[in-house]
Amino acid sequence: MEFFDSIIKEALEITRGLSEVNYEYNAVKAWKDAGGNQVILQKHSAFELSGTGFNLVTSSSVEDGITVIGSELADIKKDCKFTRITILQIDEPEDQQKTYNLIRKIEYVKYHYFPDGYMIRTSSRSHKEAVRVSKDAVKKGISFQNVGNLLINKYKEISAVKGVRVIFITSPDADHRAFEDMAEKSNSITETLNHIMNSVNFDCDTCNLKPICDEVEGMRELHFKSRGM
């Protein structure tokens, strides 16, 4: 499963040199899950994080843990730009249909974790991700470390997920625009897989997804294989 490997490489390259803190994964240090959607009113908000959140799946080895590039939640005093990248190691599925199904299952996790006092707003049609953190949660010691542990716990409920690295980026020196482009490319790869898995018989020369097939390792071969060519 190498479709997203080039994006993983690019993401790690552009964060190289930025100050970071790494935490080992510890399941018991996960932040409390509120159990469902929550509403944090503006008057109860400490600050908001706005930007991008996306997943990248690979069969290469990924060490469980959390990386924070920039300020931890306790040190943020005002609204700021934000990126969350989650890199996940999975077992190689038996066939590409199962690969696609697994990618979608992994994607659904972000709609089903609810850190207490950490209201996440996202959309199934967008890679945008906004977070409102409550004053009360800050007082209780919420951090990217324990939010990351909670998210890893959720991903680990999927048996095919073998390793998870959650990267939270708040550094003003980070190229958040580049991360948005990566998220868009990741989404395009998943969309292309969807077309292929649904056996959409289109003309490659006129398809708007052709650049993805041309660029992503193994995508064109998968497409031709799915069409019996």
| Domain-located, residue 43 | yes
Please indicate, yes or no, if residue 151 is contained in any of the structural domains. Answer: yes
The pTM of this model reads 0.85
Q: Which residue has the higher pLDDT, 213 or 51?
A: 51
- The residue-averaged pLDDT of 19-47 equals 96
Q: Which helix (H) or strand (E) holds 211?
A: helix 210-215
Residue 34 has pLDDT above 80, yes or no: yes
Residue 70 has phi, psi (to 5 degrees) of: 110, -150
Q: One-letter amino acid identity for 138? A: V
Provide the strand spans (E) within 98-207: 118-123, 126-134, 161-169
pLDDT at 225 over 80: no
211 within a domain of the structure (yes/no): no
Nearest Cα to Cα of residue 183 among 131, 119, 107, 108:
107
pLDDT reading at 91 higher than 90: no
For residue 114 the two structure tokens come to: 């609810």
Specify if 121 maps to a domain: yes
Name the residue range of residue 157's domain. 5-173
Is the pLDDT reported for residue 71 higher than 50? yes
Q: What is the sign, positive or negative, of the torsion defined by CA atoms of 203, 205, 206, 211? A: positive
Residue 229 pLDDT > 50:
no
Amino acid present at 113: Y
CATH number at residue 110: 3.30.1650.10
Tens-place pLDDT, residues 51-67: 999 999 999 999 999 99
How many CB atoms within 10 Å of residue 71? 16
* Predicted confidence (pLDDT) per residue in 144-171, tens digit: 999 999 999 999 999 999 999 999 999 9
174, pLDDT greater than 60: yes
Residue 169 DSSP symbol? E
Q: What would the mean pLDDT of 56-82 be, rounded to a whole number?
A: 96
| Within a domain: 149 | yes
- pLDDT computed for residue 224 by the predictor: 44
Residues 117, 127: Cα–Cα separation, whole Å: 22
What are the structure tokens assigned to 169, written together?
A: 């980026």
Examine residue 181 and state whether it is found in any structural domain, yes or no. Answer: no
Does residue 48 surpass a pLDDT of 80? Answer: yes
Flag the least confident range among 78-92, 121-135, 188-202. Answer: 188-202
Nearest partner of 22 among 62, 65, 63, judged by Cα: 65
Q: How far apart are CA 99 and CA 2, in angstroms?
A: 11
Q: How confident is the model at residue 3 (pLDDT cuts 50, 70, 90)?
A: confident
* 206 pLDDT above the threshold of 60: no
**pLDDT for residue 127:** 86
154, part of any domain:
yes
Judge whether residue 196 has pLDDT over 70: no
Q: What is the domain count for the chain? A: 1
Q: For residue 90, what are the β-bridge partners?
A: 161
Residues 6+ apart with CB under 8 A from 41: none
Distance CA(226)–CA(214), nearest Å, equals 16
- Whether residue 50 is predicted with pLDDT greater than 80 in this model: the reply is yes
Taking residues 15-37, what's their average pLDDT? Answer: 95
- Asked whether residue 203 is domain-assigned, the answer is no
What does pLDDT average to over the chain?
A: 87
